[in-house]
Amino acid sequence: MLPIHPKNLLLLISSALLFLVACTHSEPEKTPENREASRLNNHQDWGIYRGHASGIQYSALDQIHTGNVHTLEKAWEYHHGNPVGPGMYANPIIVDGLLYFTTPELNAVALNAATGSEVWVFRPDQYRDDERPFRGRNRGLTYWEDENGENKRILNFVKDRVYAIDARTGNLITSFGENGWIDLRKNLPQDPEDVDFEATTQGMVYQNVLIIGGRTPEGEPSSPGDVRGYDALTGEFKWIFHTIPQPGEFGYDTWEFEDGVSYGGTNPWGGLTVDEERGWVFFATGSPAPDFIYGGMRKGENLFANCVIALDANTGKRMWHYQTLRHDIWDYDLPPAPILATVTTEGISKDIVVQLTKQGLTFVLDRDTGEPVFPVVDLPVPPSKVPGEQAWPTQPFPLRPPPLNRTTLRESDLSTITPETRDYVLNIFRQHETGPLYTPASMAGVITMPGHQGGAEWGGAAFDPSTNVMFVNINEAPTIHSLVPLTGSLDTAAASPLQRGQMIYNTACTSCHGINKVGNPPLYPPLQNLGISRDSILSVLTYGRGMMPAFSHFSEKQLEELVVYLQSNTADADQMQPNDANANAAKAPRYANVAPFFVDQDGYPAISPPWGTLNAVDLDKGEILWKVPLGEYPELVARGIRHTGAKSFGGPVVTAGNLVFIAATPDEKIRAFDKFTGQVLWEYQLPAGGYATPSVYMIDGRQYVVIAAGGGGKNGTKHGDSVIAFTLPD
295 and 151 in one domain?
A: yes
Does residue 42 belong to any structural domain of this protein? no
637 and 533 in one domain?
A: no
Q: Domain end: 555, 588, 621, which one?
A: 588
713 and 610 in one domain?
A: yes
Residue 231 near residue 175 (C-beta atoms within 8 A): no
> Considering only CA atoms, which of 265, 160, 166 is closest in space to residue 223?
265
pLDDT at 9 over 60: no
522 and 620 in one domain?
A: no
Does residue 491 belong to any structural domain of this protein? yes
pLDDT band (50, 70, 90) for residue 489: low
pLDDT at 487 over 90: no
155 and 242 in one domain?
A: yes
493 and 476 in one domain?
A: no
Q: Average pLDDT of 673-687? A: 98
Q: What is the mean pLDDT of the chain?
A: 89
Does residue 40 belong to any structural domain of this protein? no
pLDDT band (50, 70, 90) for residue 480: very high
Contacts of 429 (CB under 8 A, 6+ apart): 411, 414, 447, 598, 606
What pLDDT, on a 0 to 100 scale, did the predictor assign at position 724? 98
- Exposure string for 299-310, b = 16+ CB within 10 A, e = fewer: bbbbbbbbbbbb
Residues 179-219: pLDDT tens digits? 899 999 999 999 998 898 999 999 999 999 999 999 998 88
pLDDT at 167 over 90: yes
- Is the overall model pTM greater than 0.85, yes or no? yes
Residues 382-430: pLDDT tens digits? 999 999 999 999 999 999 999 999 999 999 999 999 999 999 999 999 9
Residue 488 near residue 452 (C-beta atoms within 8 A): no
Does residue 34 belong to any structural domain of this protein? no
pLDDT at 548 over 70: no
Residue 552 near residue 136 (C-beta atoms within 8 A): yes
Does residue 665 belong to any structural domain of this protein? yes
Q: Which domain holds residue 275?
A: 49-59+84-481+601-727
pLDDT at 527 over 90: no
Does residue 29 belong to any structural domain of this protein? no
What pLDDT, on a 0 to 100 scale, did the predictor assign at position 521? 61
pLDDT at 61 over 60: yes
Tell me the three state secondary structure of residue 395.
strand
In this prediction, what percent of the chain has a pLDDT beyond 90? Answer: 74
Residue 599 near residue 606 (C-beta atoms within 8 A): yes
Contacts of 415 (CB under 8 A, 6+ apart): 421, 422, 425, 600, 604, 605, 606, 607, 608, 609
The winner for highest mean pLDDT among 81-90, 258-267, 372-381 is 372-381
338 and 201 in one domain?
A: yes
Q: Average pLDDT of 532-538? A: 84
What pLDDT, on a 0 to 100 scale, did the predictor assign at position 112? 98
Q: Domain end: 557, 588, 619, which one?
A: 588
570, amino acid identity: T
DSSP for 442-470, please give it: BSS-EEESS-TT-B--TT-EEEETTTTEE
Dihedral of alpha carbons 593, 595, 601, 603, sign: negative
Q: What is the largest CA-CA distance in the chain?
A: 95
Does residue 4 belong to any structural domain of this protein? no
542 and 424 in one domain?
A: no
More confident residue, 85 or 397: 397
651 and 504 in one domain?
A: no
611 and 584 in one domain?
A: no
List, in sequence order, every beta strand (DSSP E) within 276-361.
Answer: 280-284, 288-289, 307-312, 318-323, 339-345, 348-356
Does residue 26 belong to any structural domain of this protein? no
pLDDT at 164 over 90: yes
Residue 528 sits in a domain of what CATH number?
Answer: 1.10.760.10
* Count of domains observed in the chain: 2
pLDDT band (50, 70, 90) for residue 552: low
Residues 107-149: pLDDT tens digits? 999 999 999 999 999 999 999 876 566 788 899 999 999 999 9
Q: Domain end: 530, 558, 588, which one?
A: 588
pLDDT at 30 over 70: no
Residues 566-599: pLDDT tens digits? 888 754 544 444 444 334 334 445 888 899 999 9
More confident residue, 574 or 695: 695
Residues 619-650: pLDDT tens digits? 999 999 999 999 999 999 999 999 999 999 99
661 and 552 in one domain?
A: no
> Considering only CA atoms, which of 452, 470, 168, 155 is closest in space to residue 330?
452
385 and 491 in one domain?
A: no
Residue 675 sits in a domain of what CATH number?
Answer: 2.140.10.10
